[in-house]
Amino acid sequence: MVDLTRRFDVLVIGGGNAALCAAISARRAGASVLVLEGAPKFYRGGNTRHTRNMRCAHDAATEILTGPYTEEEFWKDLLLVTGGQTDEELARFMIHESKDILNWIVEQGVRWQPSLGGTLSLGRTNSFFLGGGRAMLNALYRTAEELGVDILYDAEVIDLKIEDGMFLSAALKQPVGGRTEVRASTLVAAAGGFEANIEWLKQYWGEAADNFLIRGTPFNRGAILKMLLAKGVQEIGDPTQCHAVAIDARAPKFDGGIITRHDSVVFGIVVNRHAERFYDEGEDIWPKRYAIWGRLVAAQPDQIAYIIFDSSVVTSFMPTLFPPIAGATIAELAGKLTLDPAALEKTITEFNAAVQPGTFDHTILDDCRTEGITPPKTHWARRIETPPYLAYPVRPGITFTYLGTRVNRQARMLMKDGKPSANMFAAGEIMAGNVLGKGYAAGMGMTIGSVFGRIAGREAARNARN
Amino acid sequence: MHGTKILQEADRLMTVCNSCRYCEGLCAVFPAMEMRRAFSDGDLNYLANLCHACGACYTDCQFSPPHEFNVNVPKTLAVARTESYAAYAWPRAFAGAFARNGLVISLIAALSVAVFIFGFVAVNDPSVLYGIHTGPGAFYRLMPHDVMAMLFGAALLYAILALAMGVRAFWRDIGEPVGMRTDAKALLQAVRDAGELRYLDGGGVGCFNEDDHPTDRRKLYHHFTFYGFALCFAATCVGTLYHYLLAREAPYAWWDLPVVSGTLGGIGLVLGPIGLLTEKRKRDRVLVDEQSTGMDTAFIVMLFLTGVTGLALLLWRDTGAMGPLLALHLGVVFALFITMPYGKFVHGIYRFAALVRYARERQMMQE
């Protein structure tokens, strides 16, 4: 049993990568640490459950990384994906620190492996967790427990007592025992974003948000973020934005994870409810533009779309969780998708007629393109003509949100007046917006979590001692 | 569509896993799965036998129960594995032995021991059974060596034939996609992988059990058991060679090769099975196929009895207990031999065949 009457040096709210890195690093610095994870034990770790790799800078190839990835190159990639919406000083600092994380995380029991099948493009830049994100979490929890960190599950925090930027206590609601006041010298908020909070999403997306699928657990409700912002912490990141990809419409509402994704867009066309194309499917290749399709589908009627392709390309992409819906003719396929058969036939006929001759190569921006239709398909355009015709229905799958708390290099929260908080720190998705104003590159969320988690824990422990 | 419910479930899981692939670094099952986009009965039986039941993929899986995707690969493949033993059993008439294997093995073992005791008494004067026999040929006063060699040779040959027929059916069934041919390189790789139980280690951290702490020591105990068994078998072979080639008759002195290797093997066959049974009791129920507990236990107990009766025979071979102990030991070993194709023993054979196939597939992928 955890003694909740005592005063802890460091209270960590959250249970993912950032939270555990903070807890471990604070404990290693000599602090007493309590971790409050709002989810039940099985669902512990929030989005970390579904991750699989981390992007860290390194100057030379390693056993699991195929080549160097310098700080400068990392910075350029970050600049590219965020379109400059980043805090350069903080971002460069994080990139520099990420180098050491490669080893530090191994010291906490996490194991690496070379990049997974189907992710060769990440073999140089990203280090993969052996067994995936949950294996990584298991290792971190094991280490934290061995070090003597106290951990509570199903531990929902319903209120924070904060005065003039100083954390005093947290009100904990437990399944049994009711409300308990937990006191600590410092707070590390690592409780993620609000992607599972449909009501909150509706503020920006309207009723469309009802048709969103959430890729992570239902526990990422942003309650801690909301409390902090309401109590004077400075916000950062566009509150209206979230990272969304197109995922299978048959996926569960929550926690379908990575396996519901589709990377087949480039091999066919995408049509909406009216069987019409609405965006250039050949603009750019996965993984760089993989993320645009969530928002594109979100803007279509009923937030649904259909990737249409034929049986000649069926082995060109990874096998999918849900099988494609098949029809011997376009009309039959349209019937199964409840689309207007005539409209779908018209769209495909026009598309086929517009395809120009070229040499197909899905690994480069090839010269297979359309001419004379709007929108065009600028690469990888090939006629859809080999029955059976196939389709995947897709909906927006929300991965994470960008709104967060402003922090400095110590991972210390900044208050609305710009002053650093006396004893509050943040790490992970809850402060990702500081470096990742928009966009995403694979593995970056975990880098932010581990780097700032480690720093937050260390600084919180130091703060608690003084 | 698949022949059985469990293969249907295995197919569902492999479809889930093949769209995830997070576990591919843990063992051979997932890389083998990735070489396929669809799964025949043979493919699934191959994957089931490739699985060493370390449990890591369950602990690491974000979709294991209570998640609605309900992914439990170790248990599903364990059930499929047991069912595959019956599916490939030869002759077909004996496939039913796998259904109530614990009972079948116990009955055969009891019967076998009884027949040896009865035989010793019926053929010899009862006083011979309790007599003190020492010096070369002491055992053969109870049972002539040629009879012993013939009986056990025949039992072993039958077991080998039945096992070979089973493996043949299995090997054919898992023929795709690389075909049935193999080569020395793949065989050697499989010998190494099986010899060190490479895939019984949770991807390098150890096997998982009741929680996410790898505390399971089945690998160590399996080594005791397997190498114990191998040493005992080697002792028997060396003894037979001594007898026919060098005309040296058992019992041999304590320092002689058959005794040394038999003693070490016997110790392994006592410690190993005790450890395996203990670990088995501690395993998280969610990971294991409860239906196969009888079969697993029967085989482990048979190996344990082989070790214990062998060591007892060594200890008391110069006393009046030698006769009954010899009957007991021979009875147990005989039962072990004839039930080899119809019990847990086959797991080693099928898993080895699967490892050979896997090594071959890896080569072909890299070429």
pLDDT value for B82: 96
Rg (CA), chain B: 22
The confidence score (pLDDT) of residue A214 equals 97
**What is the pLDDT, as a whole number, of residue B203?**
82
User: Amino acid letter at A128?
Assistant: F
A133 contacts on B by Cβ (under 8 Å) = 22, 62
Q: What is the CATH code for A7-238+402-465?
A: 3.50.50.60
CB B212 within 8 A of CB B62: no
Rounded to two decimals, the pTM is 0.94
Q: Which residues have CB under 8 Å from B125's CB, separation 6+?
A: none
Query: What would the mean pLDDT of B161-168 be, rounded to a whole number?
Result: 97
Evaluate whether B51 touches B27 at the Cβ level (below 8 Å): yes
CA distance A132 to chain B (A): 5
Beta-carbon separation of A49 and B57 below 8 A: no
pLDDT, residue B124, reads: 83
Residue A210's contacts (CB-CB under 8 Å, 6 or more residues apart) are: A198, A202
CB-based contact A111 B205, cutoff 8 Å? yes
**Phi, psi (degrees; rounded to nearest 5) at A76:** -65, -40
pLDDT per residue as tens digits for the range A326-363: 999 999 999 999 999 999 999 999 999 999 999 999 88
Distance from CA of B18 to the nearest CA of A (A): 6
Per-residue pLDDT of A103-112, as tens digits, reads 999 999 999 9
Q: What is the mean pLDDT of residues A376-398?
A: 97
Return residues 21-40 of B near A (CB < 8 Å): 21-26, 31, 34, 37
Q: Do A257 and B37 touch (CB under 8 A)?
A: no
Q: Do B22 and A133 touch (CB under 8 A)?
A: yes
CA distances to A9, A161, A463 from A166, rounded to whole Å, are 14, 8, 12
Sign of CA dihedral A335, A338, A343, A346: negative
Q: What band does A289 get if pLDDT is binned at 50, 70 and 90?
A: low
The answer to whether A451 and A94 are in contact (CB under 8 A) is yes
Identify which of B18, B37, B60 has the shortest CB distance to residue A134. B60
Task: Give the number of beta-carbon pairs within 8 Å between A and B.
Answer: 78
Flag if A116 and B24 touch (Cβ within 8 Å).
yes
Give the DSSP per-residue string, B287-350. GS-GGGHHHHHHHHHHHHHHHHHHHHHHHTTTSTTHHHHHHHHHHHHHHHHHHGGGSTTHHHHH
pLDDT in tens, B23-35: 999 999 999 999 9
The predicted model gives A194-205 an average pLDDT of 96
What pLDDT, on a 0 to 100 scale, did the predictor assign at position B207?
A: 79
Interface contact flag, A135 B56, Cβ < 8 Å: yes
Give domain A243-397's CATH number out of 3.90.1150.10, 3.20.20.70, 3.90.700.10, 3.40.50.1820. 3.90.700.10
| Total residues belonging to chain B | 367
Interface test with A, best of B19, B61, B69, B209 (most A CBs within 10 A): B19
Provide the pairing of β-strand A420-426 with A269-272. unpaired
Per the model's pLDDT, the better-predicted residue between B170 and B180 turns out to be B170
CA-wise closest residue to A441 among A286, A320, A297, A294: A286
For β-strands A53-55 and A126-129, DSSP reports them as antiparallel
Say what the ipTM of the complex is: 0.94
Return the residue in A54, A63, A130 with the most chain B beta carbons within 10 A, the one to mutate for interface testing.
A130
Q: What is the mean pLDDT of residues B141-161?
A: 94
Question: pLDDT band at residue B211, thresholds of 50, 70 and 90?
Answer: low
| A225 Cα distance to chain centroid | 17
Count of beta carbons in the 10 Å neighbourhood of residue A69 = 24
pLDDT digits (tens, 9 = 90+) for A130-157: 999 999 999 999 999 999 999 999 999 9
Residue A71 has pLDDT above 90, yes or no: yes
The Cα of B41 is separated from the nearest Cα of chain A by a number of Å equal to 19
Burial of B174: CB neighbours in 10 Å, binned 0-12, 13-18, 19+: buried
CB contact under 8 A, A49 and B62: yes
Residue B212 forms contact with A (CB below 8 Å): yes
% chain A with pLDDT above 90: 88
The per-residue pLDDT for range A323-335, each reduced to its tens digit, is 999 999 999 999 9
Q: What is the pLDDT of residue B178?
A: 72
- Candidates A253, A321, A392, A446, partner chain B, best to mutate (most B CBs within 10 A): A321
> Going by C-beta distance under 8 Å and a sequence separation of 6 or more, which residues neighbour residue A345?
A330, A331, A334
Greatest Cα pair distance in chain A: 74
Can you read off the two tokens belonging to residue A339? 């689309």
The single-letter DSSP state of residue A241 is -
CB burial readout A423-457, b (16+ within 10 A) else e: bbbbbbbbbbbbbbbbbbbbbbbbbbbbbbbbbbb
Q: Map out the domains of chain A as residue ranges.
A: 7-238+402-465, 243-397
Predicted local distance difference test score (pLDDT) of residue B217: 87
Contact with chain A for residue B20, Cβ under 8 A? yes
Mean pLDDT of chain B: 93
Closest partner CB to A259 (pick from B19, B24, B212): B19
Q: Residue A225 half-sphere exposure, CB side, CA atoms within 13 Å?
A: 28
Q: Which amino acid is at B77?
A: L
**B179: burial class by Cβ within 10 Å (0-12, 13-18, 19+)?**
exposed
Tell me what the mean pLDDT of segment A290-319 comes to.
92
Q: Where are the alpha helices (DSSP H) in A299-340?
A: 330-336
B13–A contact, CB cutoff 8 A: no
> CB–CB of B26 and A131 under 8 A?
yes
Confidence (pLDDT) at A115: 80
> What does the DSSP 8-state code read for residue B245?
I
Amino acid at A395: R
Q: Percent of chain A beyond pLDDT 70?
A: 98
The shortest CB-CB distance from A132 to any of B60, B204, B212 is to: B60
Residue B62 near chain A (CB below 8 Å): yes
Q: Please check the confidence at residue B215 and state whether its pLDDT lies above 80.
A: no
Q: Do A258 and B15 touch (CB under 8 A)?
A: no
CA distance A82 to chain B (A): 27
At A215-244, the pLDDT tens digits run 999 999 999 999 999 999 999 999 988 999
With left for phi above 0 and alpha for psi between -120 and 50, is residue A368 left, alpha or beta? beta
DSSP label at B277? H
> Is residue A87 pLDDT above 80, yes or no?
yes
**A interface residues, B as partner, C-beta within 8 Å:** 42, 49-50, 52, 111, 113-114, 116-118, 128-135, 138, 141-142, 252, 255, 257-259, 315, 318-321
What is the rounded CA–CA span in Å between residue B294 and residue B287? 16
Q: CA-to-CA distance for A134 and B60, rounded, in angstroms?
A: 5
* Other CB atoms within 10 Å distance of the CB of residue A363: 8
Q: How confident is the model at residue A178 (pLDDT cuts 50, 70, 90)?
A: confident
pLDDT tier, A78 (very low <50, low <70, confident <90, very high otherwise): very high
The answer to whether the beta carbons of residues A59 and A68 sit under 8 Å apart is yes
Q: Taking the CA atoms of chain A, what radius of gyration do you get in angstroms?
A: 23
Q: Is the dihedral of CA B141, B323, B338, B163 positive or negative?
A: negative
